[in-house]
Amino acid sequence: MNIGEEPGRASLDAVLVNEVARKAWVEALDTFVEDTSDFFELGGDSMAAVSIVTEMGELLGCEIDIALLYSNSALGDFAAAVTAASAPGATAASATVASADAH
């Protein structure tokens, strides 16, 4: 079940998601990042992507579809997409963040 579809579950906090994403990117890519930094331009590959979504999922308590990173390759866009996907009522197309306990 997607977070946006769970009754009574609030969306993830945008500031928290951005901070967690920034931390995960810095660790996976071993470089300074800004909201406009592009995952692919920084040398991001599939291993780094897996590392990022895994770490974020553990810290945020959810599962993040790796496709969300590939389709939103700027840090700020990715963090915003994760936040939007977690919002109550998120559409099926954007709801790629699932509760870790839904499995």
- Judge whether residue 62 has pLDDT over 90: no
Structural domain span for residue 22: 3-92
Could you give the CA distance from residue 63 to residue 49 in angstroms, rounded to a whole number?
13
Sign for the pseudo-dihedral over CA of 77, 101, 24, 28? negative
Q: Report if residue 72 sits inside a domain.
A: yes
Residue 63, in any domain of the structure:
yes
- Which residues pair with residue 64 across a beta bridge? 97
Rounded mean pLDDT, 76-103: 70
For residue 30, count CB atoms less than 10 angstroms from its CB and return exposed for 0-12, middle for 13-18, buried for 19 or more: exposed
Residue 90, φ and ψ in degrees, nearest 5: -60, 140
pLDDT tens per residue, range 6-61: 444 557 899 999 999 999 999 999 999 999 999 999 999 999 999 999 999 999 98
Question: How much is the average pLDDT of 67-88?
Answer: 93
**Does residue 80 fall inside a structural domain?**
yes
The set of residues, in sequence order, having a beta carbon less than 8 Å from that of 14 and lying 6+ positions away, is 79, 80, 83
Considering its fold, how many domains does the chain have in total?
Answer: 1
Q: How confident is the model at residue 91 (pLDDT cuts 50, 70, 90)?
A: low
